[in-house]
Amino acid sequence: MSIRIPSKVVNLDGKEYTLRCNMAVLERLQDGQDGDIGALMQKPTYQVVFLILKAMLDDYCEDAGIEEISMRRLKKLYSPADVADWGVFRMFVESMSVFPKETAISDPDTPSESGPPENSGN
């Protein structure tokens, strides 16, 4: 089974970027919230959409080997309405429903409450 992740190409500051909310983006968001991705939803909506956009852009830039765009520059060039029009929040919500919750927000270094899986050798 393959998972199809929605993506959108946007033109930012004269360059094309592909936005998608994959596992790496979810990990960036989780790391930015001290491991609690749910804390993201406690922030004002305009902050959330910029944090999601920044995580998507950072992931794209890292993969493409190009320089990241600073949050300051993003906020200077684009309004929260612009970012909302690109559908970044929708992509985030869809990704949270595509990836299993345990996979998207769990810490692999933290043992599960149920213990190791059967036949794991432990």
Determine, yes or no, domain membership for 23. Answer: yes
pLDDT band, very low/low/confident/very high, at 85 (cuts 50, 70, 90): confident
- Quick check: is 121 in a domain? no
pTM, rounded to two decimals: 0.74
Tell me what pLDDT residue 66 has.
93
Q: Return the residue matching tokens 């050798």.
A: 121
Range of the domain at 47: 8-104
The full 3-state SS of 95-117, as one line of letters, equals HHHHCCHHHHHCCCCCCCCCCCC
Q: Is residue 65 part of a domain?
A: yes
Whether the pLDDT of residue 119 is over 80: the answer is no
In a domain, 112, yes or no: no
Q: Is the pLDDT of residue 1 over 70?
A: no
The answer to the question of residue 110 being in a domain is no
Which of 32, 3, 8, 33 lies closest to 100, judged by CA? 3
Give the whole-angstrom CA distance, residue 48 versus residue 88: 10
Spell out where the chain has E strands: 7-12, 15-20
Task: State mean pLDDT over 52-78.
Answer: 94
Structure tokens at 51: 């944090």
pLDDT in tens, 3-38: 677 889 999 888 999 999 998 998 999 999 888 888
pLDDT at 102: 47
Tell me whether residue 98 is exposed, middle or buried, using C-beta atoms within 10 angstroms of its C-beta: 0 to 12, 13 to 18, 19 or more.
Answer: middle
Q: CB pairs under 8 A, 24+ apart, for 37-43?
A: 37/104, 37/105, 38/105
Q: pLDDT at position 40, please?
A: 86
Give the count of domains, the chain.
Answer: 1
What is the residue-averaged pLDDT of the chain? Answer: 80
Query: With bands split at pLDDT 50, 70 and 90, how would you rate the model's confidence at 41?
Result: confident
